[in-house]
């Protein structure tokens, strides 16, 4: 599996950093990856990157030019957008999306506080219904996740209807435990929803982080499913 969530950051302007990112991807054996960064941010504490035409144009140009010359690695032009219930915020986000003509739009929830996992999952449902996204990033679960099976099934069904992927995030910040991973794999298998792996790398060394371990867990899950059917 390829890494579908890599933050390019300074590599947008720095050719050497961009080159190191590419070398790391090739070293990991990836053939297709998503380079992206944050668009409009819900939190004033966090820096938006792909939020003005000049930066977006530089980002697109660097990747498009690379893809014309390099055929061992395909880089997909992505952006990670923040969910917000605020209409003005959403309008600004949509303006940014139009500027970039991005190939991979990652929907994520950052910095918002919820009283329960149920409230968070309601926000995910609202995000799916109101943003034109390709994938849900780092879907957060806690120990109460099975109490909200109805909401998780609604999310998965919406993903199937809208052809939205689920990201299996491998970062230490958002990685599912074994029980959560098996549970979500069950739901995605049942409702025919596709998933990808994303390291959520914010630096070169994090690209492909923990991929081998998570892929092994997925393989183990598949083997158990086969055994159960016999």
Name the residue range of residue 195's domain: 6-229
Domain containing 30 — which CATH number? 3.20.20.140
Whether 140 has a pLDDT exceeding 90, the answer reads: yes
Is residue 46 a part of any domain in this protein?
yes
Instruction: Assess if residue 79 is contained within a domain.
Output: yes
1, part of any domain = no
pLDDT at 34: 98
* Section 21-50 average pLDDT: 94
Instruction: Give the DSSP H or E segment for 108.
Output: strand 104-108
**Element at 196 (helix H, strand E):** strand 195-198
Q: In angstroms, how far is CA 131 from the centroid of its own chain? A: 14
Q: What is the mean pLDDT of residues 156-177?
A: 97
- How many domains does one find in the chain? 1
With a cut of 90, say whether residue 175 has pLDDT above it: yes
- Residue 229: pLDDT above 70? no
* pLDDT of the residue at 13: 96
Question: Does the pLDDT value for residue 172 go beyond 90?
Answer: yes
Give residue for tokens 């596709």.
194
Q: How far apart are CA 23 and CA 186, in angstroms?
A: 35
């Amino acid at each position: 599996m390829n890494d579908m969530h890599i933050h390019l950051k300074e590599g947008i302007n720095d050719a050497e950093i961009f080159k190191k990112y590419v070398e790391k991807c090739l070293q990991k054996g990836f053939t297709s990856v998503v380079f992206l960064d944050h668009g409009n941010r819900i939190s004033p504490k966090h820096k938006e990157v792909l939020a003005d035409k000049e930066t977006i144009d530089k980002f697109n140009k660097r990747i498009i030019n690379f893809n014309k010359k390099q055929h061992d690695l395909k880089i997909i032009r992505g952006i990670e957008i923040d969910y917000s219930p605020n209409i003005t915020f959403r309008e600004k986000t949509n303006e940014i999306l139009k500027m970039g003509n991005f190939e991979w739009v990652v929907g994520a929830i950052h910095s918002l506080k919820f009283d329960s996992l149920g409230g968070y999952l309601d926000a995910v449902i609202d995000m799916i219904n109101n943003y034109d996204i390709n994938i849900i990033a780092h879907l957060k679960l806690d120990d109460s996740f099975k109490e909200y099976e109805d909401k998780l099934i609604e999310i998965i069904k919406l993903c199937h209807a809208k052809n939205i992927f689920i990201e299996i995030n491998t970062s230490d910040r958002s990685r599912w435990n074994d029980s959560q991973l098996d549970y979500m794999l069950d739901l995605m298998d049942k409702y025919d929803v596709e998933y990808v792996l994303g390291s959520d790398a914010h630096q070169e060394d994090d690209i492909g982080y923990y991929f081998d371990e998570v892929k092994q867990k997925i393989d183990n899950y598949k083997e158990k499913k086969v055994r159960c059917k016999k």
